[in-house]
Structure 1
Amino acid sequence: MNRNVILTCAVTGAGDTTGKNPNVPVTPKQIADNCIEAARAGASVAHIHVRDPETGGISHSVDHFREVMERVREADADIVMNITAGGGGDWIPDAEDPTRGGPGTDIQTPAQRHEPVGELLPELCTLDCGSLNFGDMVYVNTADWLREHARLVQAAGVKPELECFDLGHVWFARQLQQEGLLDGDPLFQLCLGIPWGAEADPETMLAMRNRLPENANWAAFGIGRHQMPMVAQAMLLGGHARVGLEDNLYLEKGVMATNGGLVEKAGTIIENLGGRIMTPAETRAHLSLRDPSTGQTVETAAGGEA
């Protein structure tokens, strides 16, 4: 059991959720405000996507990421920043010509996906570790693309959060480690409940956890109604946790969530199980992340045994 929990808040994703919950942030200012709200509610890490401020849809704009980062850094609430680098992988075959991408297809090269990370140098960025039937589309991540992307992240000195949506993704992440493309102790995020990847249940989480490298740090999350049960399950199995409006829109049945409310509810679960949420400073030390105020890597672990 892990009693010192790194709690991530994924404040907004790229999915079509803005019309389902009015609290989902869209503009860079709203996204930054939600990061600050999550920090004040006790979150250790804020994971961000950015959206087109006009449509609420997918955006890869470095300027949008930059505005979010600057607004959060200027606030009086500390939080570790985790930028997505997993956009630009959506493939929807055209109905008339399945050899071509149809409406909704959004494909970027590894270099394009890496651009916000390379320019802004957050403490963390995501590295999705394989392809997946993601709902009704295919999320594309070939092995060679992932190797190229891992090299770019490694050269930037940013720690990748290895997002694994199925057991084979854990296998490939271990391969990246064997090839020397991951520095230090790897950080895994087990992503559960997305159709049609790994299911959100204790057996699946345990199976994925049992295939991690011995020196791995890891967290897990479930989407929708599985979000809070997976917070407890991850803690009990020795891991960290993630909540947020990217993954779940409801605080309870019929009650729309906010990011701050989800962080507070997760915090109550963690405390009731005898644990505590690690501060951002403790998180940087525990994961050997770069301190944004100094630019230096924090080397000494803090926050107790995890």
Structure 2
Amino acid sequence: MKSIFLTCALVGSFSTRQQNENLPITPKELADDALSAAKAGAAIVHIHVRDPETEEPSMEVALYREVVDRIRQANDELIINLTCGPGGRFDPLPDNPAVAGPKTNLLPPEARVEHILELKPEIATLDLNTMVFGGEVVINTIPSIRRMAELIQSVGSRPEIELFDSGDISILNMLMAEQVFEKDPLCSIVTGVKHGFIPTPETMVYARNLLPSSAVWTGFGTGAQAYPMMAQAAMLGGNVRIGMEDAVWLTKGVKAPSNGAMVEKAMRLLDDLGFAVMSSKETRAAYGF
């Protein structure tokens, strides 16, 4: 079995403290959770930020900067992956669907990567999906995707391509033919998001087989399937992801107390399955970060 790396996804755009009171919200909480995840074995941390007062998702560069600075002051080897997902949501008004409703946050590609251009993390997510997402629609047009990829790579960051369904992989393969990516693509197969890939072994095999042969891929699931799909990805030759963005529960009836605790459990499971998990330093050396 080849060595694999583990990404910890700290907090996403939808989880709330009503679901789990231990969710990290402030920059200090996010940085502390990132460092505990690294100590437990995560090579990469995937980061969204929240407004500390409202607890709502935010794209404020200052919040990203504080989280990154706090991490870097304590650990300069941990690989940082910042989201570029927000900025693609359209909320049509019920009586006039051509008009944007209050949850719309559509932004030009330059605005969606502003924090990447300033902070230059090792990795920045690049979503290829256009799909129903909650009560709204996520829209990622081909010109926007191309421009975001260009901007991300212009500062030395590496796009991590998030794939929610087979059509997204079709777009990826088109972009590969256009030679949009400077290095072998980092890809994440996302399962468990409603109306996207369902979290089953058959789905992950199918998605993996559609990927470009040069892809460095991670697979993961959300909700109750977070740990089963993590194990599935490892057994299929992929890397893995776990964290409080993807799941509320550490085990049945026990809410996750921290991202570090989720990584600790993941490391135990992967060790029991016979997998060697690379450190941040080893992952940097293996994949050129």
User: What corresponds to 2:200 in structure 1?
Assistant: 201
Determine the C-alpha separation between the residues in 1 that align with 2:76 and 2:227. Answer: 25
Tell me the equivalent position of 1:122. Answer: 121
Letter in 1 for 2:279: T
Report the equivalent of 2:142: 143
Q: 1:117 to 1:236 in 2, by over 3 A?
A: same
Deviation at 1:22, TM superposition (A): 1.1
1:130 is paired with a residue whose SS is coil
Q: Where do residues 256-271 of structure 1 align in structure 2 (5 Å cutoff)? A: 256-257=255-256, 258-271=258-271
Is 2:167 the counterpart of 1:173?
no
Where structure 2 has 5 or more consecutive residues not aligned to the other structure, the ranges are none
Spell out the pairing of 1:154-193 with structure 2 (5 A cutoff): 154-193=153-192
Alignment CA distance shift 1:285-1:156 (3 Å): same
Q: 103-112 or 24-33: which moved more?
A: 103-112
Deviations 1:81-119 (A, max 9, x none): 000011111212112321122222222111001100111
Deviations along 1:242-289, whole A, 9 cap, x unmatched?
000011010012211021111011111110111121100111122211
What's 2:277 paired with?
277
Aligned-residue offset at 1:238: 0.2
**Do the aligned residues in 2 keep the contact of 1:36 with 1:77 (CA within 8 Å)?**
no
- Counterpart CA distance in 2 for 1:138 and 1:44 is 32
Residue in structure 1 matched with residue 79 of structure 2 by the alignment: 80
Map of 2:28 onto structure 1: 29
TM-score if structure 2 supplies the norm length? 0.97
Q: Which moved more, 1:276-285 or 1:95-104?
A: 95-104
Paired positions, count: 288
Instruction: Describe the superposition over 1:117-173 as per-residue Cα deviations: whole angstroms up to 9, x where unpaired.
Output: 111000111000121112322111011111111111122221111100001111111
Q: Is the 8 A contact 1:135 1:194 kept in 2?
A: no
Moved runs in structure 1, 4+ residues, more than 2 A? none
Letter in 1 for 2:263: V
SS of equivalent to 2:94 = coil
1:172 partner SS: helix
Give the aligned residue type for 2:64. F
Indicate how the Cα distance of structure 1 residues 16 and 216 shifts in structure 2: closer, same or farther if over 3 A, else same: closer
- Contact 1:40 1:77 (C-alpha < 8 Å) held by counterparts: no
- Aligned partner of 1:8 in structure 2 is 7
**CA contact under 8 A between 2:45 and 2:80: conserved in structure 1?**
yes
Cα RMSD (Å): 1.2
1:5·1:278 contact (CA, 8 Å) conserved in 2?
yes
Cα distance in 1, alignment partners of residues 225 and 167 from structure 2: 22
Comparing 17-26 with 74-83, greater Cα deviation is found at: 74-83
1:221-232 mapped onto 2 (5 Å cutoff): 221-232=220-231
- Give 1:3 shift: 3.8
Percent identical among aligned pairs is 42
The CA distance in 2 between the partners of 1:264 and 1:59, in whole Å, is: 28
1:77 deviation in Å? 7.2
Aligned to 1:295: none
CA distance in 1, matches of 2:225, 2:7: 16
Aligned 8 A contact 2:15 2:245 in 1? no
Q: Name the SS for the 1:99 alignment partner.
A: strand
Please give the alpha-carbon distance, in whole angstroms, between the structure 2 residues aligned to 1:77 and 1:186. Answer: 24
Moved more, 85-94 or 75-84: 75-84
